[in-house]
Structures are given as C-alpha cells and as structure tokens.
C-alpha cells in the first residue's frame, strides 16, 4: 500500500486554463502533480485536453457551477485542496476527508484595501469555510494574522501561511548579468488596475529619473491608462494572453529586459508578479502593504517603500541602487536565487505537503 499522501484537488475555477483566476489554480495543480510524495485526484467537472476544453465551453454557455463532489468521489483521500473557493469549503459534506481552504484574503480586507463592494453574506461564507475546513492556508503571515483577528483565536491552530508561487510555465535558468542601464534604464509595470496598482507613481518615477539625466523607459503591461500615446519613454501593451505562445514570450522577455520591476501598489494581498520578475533576475520596488512583506526580503530580491511614497522617492531608490554596478549585479543574482528557493509553485506544493504531513 502506498505511503504517499492522497490528495484531491477541487476548485470553482478552471484548473486547466492559464487565464482562469490569473492561472493560479492551474499552476497549483501542476506543482502538486509534480510532487512525488503525493497521489493526486482532480475532482469536479474539469477534464484536461481538447475534450475538456469542449466541455468547459458548454458548461460556460449553460451557466453551470461547480458543486461539492459526492463522498464516493472522494473515497480514500486524506485531504482535499480547495483553492480560492470558499463556498465549496463551506458546503463540506458529512464524511468527507479534511478540506484545506487555500486563499489569499478575507472579505473585509478586500473592502478595506480594494474598496470592493462585497456583500455581508461573504463574511458569513468565509466564516463558514474557516469553521468547516480542517486546515486554512493563507498566502502570507499578514493575512493569516488578520484572519485570526477577524474570525477568532479559536481557529488559530488550523490557520497557516504558505507563500504562493510564480505564474510561469517553468523557472528559467539563472540569468546572465543585466546590461548596464545604457542607453537607457528599463522599468516594467504589470497590472490591470492602473490607479490601484500605482501606475501613476511608476510614471512619475520614470519622469523624475529622466529629469535627473538618467534616461529611463517604462513598459506598461496589462492596462491602457490613456494619454500616453506617442511618448518615446513609454510603451503600453494593454493585454497579453499567457495561453498564446507569442504573448507568453513577450511577457517573459519584458521581465528579462527590465532593470527593475516597479509596483507602487495602494492595495494588494500577495501579488505573485513579484516572483515572476525575480525569476528573470529583476529586483522589485514595491509598496510595503498587505502581505507583500512575505514576498520581499529587502536587499535580497528588492526593496519596499512606504505606501505613500511618491515618484521622487522611487526615483531616489532606483538611482541609489544603480550607482554601484557591482552591488546592482549582486542584487539581480540574489533576486533570482530568492525566487528559486522561496517563491515557486514547487516550493508552495512542498510546504503544503509538509503542513499536512505534520498534522
């Protein structure tokens, strides 16, 4: 009889679609499948391959939703991993194996920091999920502590923190040293919400560096803030589809070519675009907010600035970091190493397994 951990994987989002929930469930599933110490069973209606894509399109047209599988479908499992699907955990059936609720935020956090209009029923649903789950795993220590504060210290023994991984197909090989910032310094901003992600601050930092005589260009991916057409110092790519090889290649090239990834975000949980940048040896400059401190080790893979830091503050930090070429090269190398050791989905899967095995 196998001594491997027998896991189920259940999600309301399509785990075979790289665009579904930013690809997070898909990368989780792949990492768990690579984990040699587990036997994995995908639950629910999801199927891989061409037939699976056809079925998913039909389900979408019909408006079908994912429900909790029958107990017979989960027979023999030790645990069921359920990412970002609180309602499925809350509907925990009698006699099922231990449900593991994996998420990155509480409803109240989303209201407070994102100004999302989330109905009060969501708090009840999240409380039910935490109450029904055998384990609750947040993506940051910050959010784990917040959940205990919001829902009660009695849940503390079942609440854990494991950082999410980077949403890339594979970890690239160690990068070559980045070229000197000549003829220009390349900054990269990736985000769908220009205002919330602090795109205006990234733009102000670019302009400040240019005024100081440090030729700088900013590439914006994921949104179109408007009003930037024709500027030689700005490139805007409104959308890239990771399911398309040419778009995926363009995204990874942008990470590799950047000297810094800049994200002066005003509200975030644990943005794994940090890990994507680090995977290409690109240090990150980002706001110290939410669970970001679980991703950034200052001096190793980037720097955190106060949430109210303006473009000049980011420009100051960038100018200081490139003033010493050897120190900048070392920061790029350690950014890759930090990602490899701490911020991959394989690291996430191994930490999940360890958490469950020690229970």
pLDDT digits (tens, 9 = 90+) for 114-136: 888 999 999 999 999 999 999 99
Residue 320 lies inside a defined structural domain of this protein = yes
Place 54 in a pLDDT band, splitting at 50, 70 and 90: confident
Q: Check pLDDT > 60 for residue 50.
A: yes
Same domain, yes or no, for 209 and 146? no
Q: Return the CATH number at 280.
A: 3.40.50.2000
Same domain, yes or no, for 89 and 223? no
pLDDT digit string (tens) for 269-323?
Answer: 889 899 999 999 999 999 999 999 999 999 999 999 999 999 999 999 999 999 9
Residue 179 lies inside a defined structural domain of this protein = no
Same domain, yes or no, for 158 and 189? no
Same domain, yes or no, for 305 and 352? no
Same domain, yes or no, for 308 and 353? no
Asked if omega into 183 is within 30° of 0 (cis), the reply is yes
Same domain, yes or no, for 142 and 17? yes
Same domain, yes or no, for 152 and 234? no
Residue 171 lies inside a defined structural domain of this protein = no
Q: How many domains does the chain have?
A: 2
Same domain, yes or no, for 327 and 348? no
Determine which of 140-144, 159-163, 165-169 has the lowest per-residue pLDDT on average.
Answer: 165-169
Same domain, yes or no, for 55 and 200? no
Same domain, yes or no, for 333 and 350? no
Same domain, yes or no, for 278 and 350? no
Residue 218 lies inside a defined structural domain of this protein = yes
Same domain, yes or no, for 97 and 196? no
Place 18 in a pLDDT band, splitting at 50, 70 and 90: confident
Residue ranges making up the domain that contains 135: 5-165+344-357
Q: Check pLDDT > 90 for residue 70.
A: no
């Amino acid at each position: 009889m196998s001594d491997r951990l027998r896991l189920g994987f259940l999600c309301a989002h399509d785990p075979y679609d790289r665009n579904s929930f930013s690809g997070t469930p898909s990368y989780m599933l792949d990492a768990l499948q690579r984990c040699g110490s587990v036997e994995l069973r995908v639950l629910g209606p999801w199927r891989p391959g061409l037939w699976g894509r056809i079925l998913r399109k039909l389900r979408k047209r019909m408006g079908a939703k994912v429900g909790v599988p029958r107990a017979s479908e989960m027979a023999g499992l030790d645990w069921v991993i359920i990412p970002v699907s609180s309602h499925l955990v809350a509907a925990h059936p009698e006699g099922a194996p231990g449900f593991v609720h994996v998420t990155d935020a509480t409803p109240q956090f989303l209201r407070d920091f994102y100004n999302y209009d989330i109905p009060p029923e969501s708090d009840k649903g999240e409380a039910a999920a935490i109450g029904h789950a055998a384990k609750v795993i947040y993506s940051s220590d910050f959010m784990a502590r917040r959940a205990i504060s919001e829902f009660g210290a009695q849940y503390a023994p079942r609440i854990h923190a494991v950082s999410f991984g980077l949403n890339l197909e594979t970890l690239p090989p160690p990068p070559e040293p980045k070229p000197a910032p000549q003829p220009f310094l390349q900054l990269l901003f990736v985000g769908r919400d220009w205002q919330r992600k602090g795109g205006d601050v990234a733009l102000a930092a670019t302009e400040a560096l240019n005024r100081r005589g440090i030729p700088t260009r900013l590439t914006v991916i994921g949104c179109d803030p408007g009003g930037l057409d024709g500027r030689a110092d700005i490139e805007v790519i409104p959308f890239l589809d990771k399911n398309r090889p040419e778009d995926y290649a363009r995204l990874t090239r942008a990470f590799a070519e950047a000297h810094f990834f800049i994200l002066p975000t005003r509200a975030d949980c644990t943005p794994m675009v940090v890990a994507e940048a680090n995977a290409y040896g690109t240090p990150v400059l980002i706001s110290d907010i939410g669970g970001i401190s679980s991703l950034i080790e200052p001096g190793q893979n980037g720097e955190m600035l106060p949430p109210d830091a303006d473009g000049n503050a980011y420009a100051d930090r960038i100018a200081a970091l490139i003033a010493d070429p050897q120190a900048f090269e070392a920061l790029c190398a350690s950014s890759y190493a930090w990602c490899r050791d701490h911020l991959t989905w394989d690291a996430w899967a191994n930490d999940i397994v360890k958490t469950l095995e020690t229970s």
